[in-house]
Amino acid sequence: MKPFWQCLRVSTACLVFAVSAQSSDGARPVYSAATILPGESRQSGPLSPGMLMSIYGEHLGPEAACNGSADAHAREQPNPQRRNQTLIEIQVFPKKLCETEVRVGGVAAGLLYVQAAQINFKVPQEIGVQGTARVQVFHKGQSGPLVTETLAAGQNEESADRLAQRIWESLKQVPWQAAYRPGAGCTVVRIHPALRFGLYGYAFSCGRLKSGLIAESFYYPTGVIEPRVVLRRADFRLANPYAALSDEVEQSLRIRLTRAYGPGTVPDRVYEIGANLPQPGLSWRAGDVTIFLHKNRNFAAPAGVREGVLLVAVRREVLEERELKRELDKAFESSTAIAERVVVADLAKDLSIPELTSRKRTEAETAATLFSILREIDKGERATRAARLVAADHLTVSLGSLLVVRTITKGSEAITEAPDGARVRNRLAAFGVHYTGPGHYSGNMEYDRIFLRRAWNEFPETSWGQRAFLLLQRLSCSFSIGTQGFEAFHSVIQQGQEFLKAYPRTPFRKEQIYNLALANETWWSLSQPEAGDPTVEGAHIDRAAAGRARKNAIDLYEELFRIAPESPEARAGQLVLPRLKLKLGTGERAFFCYSD
């Protein structure tokens, strides 16, 4: 049996001891007051009768762990000065285990787990609740230091069953779909770019502490036509996440939930609320509400590190939005990949160059195809010349990935130029191509996309010229398409509006409208940052102008819905429209060139 709490969850000091511990005959146990902690706590605290504690150190026991089993037929009389003790706290555990003993105030403690770096023990019931007591570890005849610890009653206000009943009653009283009303304990929540929509998409959170419970309510924007903010998620957890109490509350809640809604199912890694591996817990469906119950040991927003039992109830609309967001992410990823394949296939067809569509080409083959196109780049019809420029750009980027050599030494990757790199670069320089070196993120040789810029600047009326323009917008943070620095969205808006005015019947109207919507949404959302948000660094936002950008974004998303209602772009717009109409930030940062 493994220990029910682990050293890695507790403290930095614990990690050091776990790594360095070496038990040997004759070695004295090493520990201190700072490494005697309540079970599953990161901070030291007073000892109470029956309380589970851990000691971290060196030479505390054998290298191979020993587990102490409770006596199935015996129970301790709980100390009357500490009420509402849990079952494990009144069980009887061995007082000596693998030649190890822990004494508290001279009384032998029950031992649950013993190992060289860690001991889990139970404070004797005979210990008082005032003053101090000295703790000492003995192993193989060697004694550790006498460490003085404070004593306290450590009373639980209510029993585990009563706490579970209070959570259960509170759950049944949640006023689902109630409109948000500002009040004590409520705060507006700014969306971080990485935490958008679904379970993270709430606009306001309200928390309250009462009788040992922390209850949080989360309000979400909804409604495209008549937007409002309503209650769609409720969280309940213990103010005191002490492991033994938390475990019993969880078991009691599981019984109630199973009786009411049948056997629970394992959720599919709902990481946003900590329902993730290795302990995702269980979930139940209760009409339009899904209830998650688990031991939240993860770093989860919005309350930071949460430990102990956590019950989260969520309306179906929130989970549906979460799934829609995941679908849209996949759709945009696949549509980008498809678009790239379509571009290459169309180029190969228009230019009669089948080599463009081959999946893998060597450096020599790629260079040969590129130079054959470059020799013809200024010949033929305007549409053909534009296509050759886009094809040259595609091949120059591909070649850049082949002109580097990656080597890994001691886990670190080094990127150097390929042996033939200098010769190829010199040949390309004659055509105005200059690689700037390996990119910070890509690791490939990168260039200034001169061929794309020529395709757009010289042949803007052609389909390939307009495709080049859209590609340049997408790359606006790799190199500015204007002079706005970090705030490339200004250039995207200005040039995008000019593009649609000059070419109102372009086949890429939907894509351009979406880019304009994103750029305006970014402009607005940068004016609504969370305090300390690093993703707004470098932004200089005029709030009045940002307000106009919000209205423009609304108009553009609504136009998308009219011209292409089933497109991913239009569906993405439906997610953000309630926030935009309610003047809430969306966390969008498209075309703003911050470094995350």
- Asked if 88 and 52 count as a contact pair (C-beta separation under 8 A), the reply is yes
pLDDT at 335 over 70: no
For tokens 């139940």, name the residue: 284
Alpha carbon distance, N-terminus to C-terminus of the chain: 43
User: Token pair of 480, please?
Assistant: 């500015």
Note the pLDDT tens digit of each residue in 260-306: 999 999 998 888 888 887 788 999 999 999 999 998 664 433 333 44
pLDDT-based confidence at 3, cuts 50/70/90?
very low
So what's the pLDDT on residue 419?
Answer: 84
pLDDT at 210 over 80: yes
For 38-64, letters b (16+ CB in 10 Å) and e give bbbbeebbbbbbbbbbbbbbbbbbbee
pLDDT at 483 over 50: no
- Asked if 350 and 384 count as a contact pair (C-beta separation under 8 A), the reply is yes
pLDDT at 418 over 90: no
Q: What is the mean pLDDT of the chain?
A: 86
pLDDT at 513 over 80: yes
Q: Which helix or strand (DSSP H or E) is residue 147 part of?
A: strand 147-150
Give CA–CA dist 446/236, Å, rounded.
51
- Asked if 261 and 283 count as a contact pair (C-beta separation under 8 A), the reply is no
Backbone φ and ψ for 12, nearest 5 degrees, come out as -65, -40
Residue type at 14 in one-letter notation:
C
Note the pLDDT tens digit of each residue in 438-460: 776 678 888 889 999 999 999 99
Give CA–CA dist 473/479, Å, rounded.
10
The contacts of residue 555 (CB under 8 Å, 6+ apart) are none
pTM score of the predicted model: 0.80
So what's the pLDDT on residue 187?
Answer: 84
Task: Identify which has the larger pLDDT, 261 or 84.
Answer: 261
User: Token pair of 516, please?
Assistant: 């304009």
- For β-strands 204-210 and 147-150, DSSP reports them as unpaired
Residue 65 — left, alpha, or beta (φ > 0 → left; ψ -120 to 50 → alpha)?
beta
So what's the pLDDT on residue 222?
Answer: 95
pLDDT at 45 over 90: no
pLDDT winner (highest mean) among 10-14, 414-418, 562-566:
562-566
The whole-number average pLDDT for the span 558-573 is 95
pLDDT at 398 over 80: yes
So what's the pLDDT on residue 18?
Answer: 39
- Asked if 281 and 295 count as a contact pair (C-beta separation under 8 A), the reply is yes
- Least confident range of 61-65, 66-70, 267-271, 586-590: 267-271
- Asked if 290 and 316 count as a contact pair (C-beta separation under 8 A), the reply is yes
Cβ-in-10-Å burial (0-12, 13-18, 19+) of 525 comes to buried
What percentage of the chain reaches a pLDDT higher than 90?
57
